[in-house]
Structure 1
Amino acid sequence: MRPFRLYCNVIIPTVYQYRITSHPEYGDTIAKTLGEGRRICSPGDRKTHGTLPRLHGVLLVAKGYDCYEVAEILGHSPTTIENWVNTYNTRGVEGLHDDSRPGRPSRISDAVKDQIDQDLRKNPRDLGYSQNLWDGKLLSHHLKERYQITLGIRQAQRLFHQLGFRQRKPRPVISRGDPVAQEAFKKTCRTGEG
């Protein structure tokens, strides 16, 4: 298989320090690309998190390494490196960004979330439950009984937070002692007796 190559003259001394010489035909295109890659890749941004390693792989190919050598250096498969180069050739630096990964769609529609929000604003006793406060276990049971939605306890707790609620736990109340009984006890108890 023929190695993929970009048409530019690039010298890469270290992983994150690039020294670029311009190609006579393309001018400063690669220098601008690398500058754009650094500008676009902000630390902590999930979308641009993997862009610099991909750009590094593309620049290694541009320097003259084949995809197998770059794969060995970066710890990826040669097919991955080929995909990065093809993506860069068709879409530029923007193509090297991570795509959004929204995850699994929610089982609960927005209309049902609004109804659940209204239910959570009520006392559980008003809905026929014996508890005074909502918790994950009760919400999970409520969703199964009323909306036919099976949700685990931990996911029900997450739903609390998504709807802007926080869980309150009942704190035990220390009962106040009977002052007459306390005085009677003090009078009958002698200190120092064993």
Structure 2
Amino acid sequence: MAHAVEVTRRDRSSAALRREATRCDDGRVACRILAIAHVLDGMSRTDAARCCGMDRQTLRDWVHRYNAEGIAGLADAPRGGRPPALTREQMAELRGVVLAGPDPARHGVVRWRCVDLCDQIAERFEVDLHERTVGKLLHRMGLSRVQPRPHNPKRDLDAQETFKKNFASLVAEALPLHAAGKPIEIWFQDEARVGQQGTLSYIWAERGSRPAVVRDDRHDSAWLFGAICPERAVGAAVVMPWVSSEVMSVHLAEISKVVGPTSHCVLICDGAGWHQSGERLTVPHNVTLLRLPPYAPELNPIENVWEYLRGNYLGHTVWDTYEQIVEACCTAWNAFVNNTERLTSVTTRQWAKVTS
């Protein structure tokens, strides 16, 4: 039977040790500190060990460590363990491979699966890993499976960066003379089709299952024209059965009513035909249109609004009539614009700033 070891270190009282235990982030270390405190209070070694989830011999070993090193000696020593399967440099290289994606002509797949990455790791590093291990490595690198955002193959990233960098000067060039000296409001505009061919969004379900949700196969639809001013957290929308310059004129008139009485609106929109100035498009005196670069919907935060509305209000629903679709659009839009904090969070873009 092992002899009890006296606690010879007396730089902390039992009360002080208990305070240290309450501040300790590691529960195992906190239990060891409390066990030492119980011993200092005169509790038997057997009872002190049992109260703190250890046996008497283990407590004896921690008393030795405490006498020699204090509280620092109660922490777990680093464990050697099995060396990592991949070095830090190899992990960085693998992360780059994953983010770059496969070359369909070379790799024969259009997206990486864990089994494909097993082959890549074996080829590059001569290390054989199981699919589950590869999945754990990906999570350790901060990667997870996400739904990608589509983009047009004709997009010009340089043009988009130039637009954001020169946004203030583009606004200044677009403003008419009568807007000089007025406060400038930046608005974003777009339109979305909402109809019986609805959207399916993510839901919670049992792992490995594929739950069924309703989706209509009819084709009645409406067009929701929406515009947002992130700085003022206000919006304006109309719901119409089609898109045209005349309908766009109605929407512009609605936006004009919401613009501040002494302000001028710069409306950011894409290059759709019904957005083009012409004889059929009536632009109010307090609104100026500014076109986005071609194939650049990611610059328009209204795209995020449509995603939010479809995911939370307009998906997984069957509408029997056009009137029901219109009512659903109005309800969804009003719910969004009335939540000013959410509106600002979704639509604010730091590059879209100008000084009046």
- TM-score strictly above 0.5: yes
Per the alignment, residue 74 of structure 2 pairs with: 96
| 1:113-128 mapped onto 2 (5 Å cutoff) | 113-125=91-103, 128=106
151-160 or 110-119: which moved more?
Answer: 110-119
SS in 2 for 1:131: coil
Instruction: Write the distance in 2 (CA, Å) between the matches of 1:52 and 1:113.
Output: 35
Instruction: Write the distance in 1 (CA, Å) between the matches of 2:41 and 2:20.
Output: 22
Is 1:6 matched up with 2:37? no
Per the alignment, residue 42 of structure 2 pairs with: 64
Letter in 2 for 1:38: R
Instruction: Write the distance in 1 (CA, Å) between the matches of 2:95 and 2:45.
Output: 54
Letter in 2 for 1:56: L
Higher RCO structure (Cα 8 Å, ≥6 apart) = 2
SS in 2 for 1:128: helix
Pick aligned residue for 2:138 from 142, 160, 174 = 160
Residues 1:144 and 1:87: Cα distance change in structure 2 (over 3 Å): same
| 1:163-182 mapped onto 2 (5 Å cutoff) | 163-168=141-146
Q: Structure 2: where are the runs of 5+ without partners? A: 149-356
Q: Deviations over 1:130-165 (max 9, x none)?
A: 110112121112212332211111221232233343
TM-superposed deviation, 1:72: 4.2
54-63 or 132-141: which moved more?
Answer: 54-63
Q: Structure 1: where are the runs of 5+ without partners? A: 9-25, 171-194
Of Structure 1 and Structure 2, the greater strand share is in 2
Per the alignment, residue 143 of structure 1 pairs with: 121
Instruction: Write the distance in 1 (CA, Å) between the matches of 2:46 and 2:138.
Output: 50
Instruction: Write the distance in 2 (CA, Å) between the matches of 1:151 and 1:66.
Output: 51
Letter in 2 for 1:35: A
132-141 or 114-123: which moved more?
Answer: 114-123
Letter in 2 for 1:30: R
Is 1:30 matched up with 2:12? yes
Residues 1:128 and 1:34: Cα distance change in structure 2 (over 3 Å): farther
Residues 1:169 and 1:144: Cα distance change in structure 2 (over 3 Å): farther
Which contiguous aligned blocks of 4+ residues in structure 1 show a shift greater than 6 angstroms? none
Query: What is the percentage of aligned positions where both structures have the same residue?
Result: 21
Q: Deviations over 1:46-85 (max 9, x none)?
A: xx32223212222232233443343344442221011121
Per the alignment, residue 64 of structure 2 pairs with: 86
* TM-score calculated relative to the size of structure 2: 0.35
Q: CA RMSD in A?
A: 3.3
Residues 1:122 and 1:93: Cα distance change in structure 2 (over 3 Å): closer
Is 1:50 matched up with 2:28? yes
Instruction: Write the distance in 1 (CA, Å) between the matches of 2:8 and 2:96.
Output: 62
